[in-house]
Amino acid sequence: MTAELDYAFLAEYAKSDRGTLTVVGASFTEAQVSSYPGVVDIAVAGRVRRPEETEPPTLRIEIYAPSDQEAPQINFDFNLEDEMGAVRYDGKVASVFVFRGPVLIESAGLYVCNIFLDGVKVRRLAFEVVESQ
C-alpha cells in the first residue's frame, strides 16, 4: 500500500491541530462576489493515510481560474510530515493537512483545485463564482 487520500474538501476556513481538523463552511461549491477583480479566501483540507514504515508523501495543490486552465494561479508543494498527535492505527498513519490562501477572482466561472500525492493527481475539487444578487 502506498499513501492514499482519504478525503479532501474546500472550506471557508480550516486549521489542523494534533491530528484533527477544525473547519468552517466545508464542502462549498459556490462563491458569490459583488465586483471584479476580487479575492476569495479559501482553505483546502483533507487527510492522507499511509503505512507507518513509509516516508511521508509530497502533496501539491494547484488552483486554476476559468480563464486559464493551463497555468495554475496557485501551485503549492509541501512534504506531509508526521505531526504530534497523528492518528496511528492498523499499521498506518493518518495525517491531516490544510492549505489556506487567497484566490484572485477576475471573472465568473468554474475555479478548479487539483490535489496531487507524490506527483499523481488524486482529487479534483471545484467551485463556481457567481455575482451576488
| CA-wise closest residue to 16 among 95, 126, 104 | 95
Residues 2-51 have pLDDT tens digits of: 899 999 999 999 999 888 899 999 999 999 998 999 999 999 999 999 99
**Distance (Å, whole) CA 113 – CA 73:** 10
Residues 61-70 have pLDDT tens digits of: 999 999 888 8
Quick one: pLDDT band at residue 1, thresholds 50, 70, 90? low
Residue holding cell 463552511? 25
**Distance (Å, whole) CA 85 – CA 94:** 10
Are 101 and 42 contacting, i.e. CB atoms less than 8 angstroms apart? yes
The three grid cell numbers given for residue 71, joined into one nine-digit string: 497555468
Instruction: Give exposure, 58-74, as e/b (b: 16+ Cβ within 10 Å).
Output: ebbbbbbbbeeeeebeb
Residue 85 has pLDDT above 70, yes or no: no
CA dihedral sign, ordered 123, 106, 99, 45: negative
The three grid cell numbers given for residue 55, joined into one nine-digit string: 516516508
Q: Full-prediction pTM beyond 0.85?
A: yes
**Distance (Å, whole) CA 94 – CA 19:** 8
Amino acid 68: pLDDT: 86
**Domains of the chain, with CATH numbers?**
4-127 (2.60.40.10)
Least confident of 75-79, 84-88, 111-115: 84-88
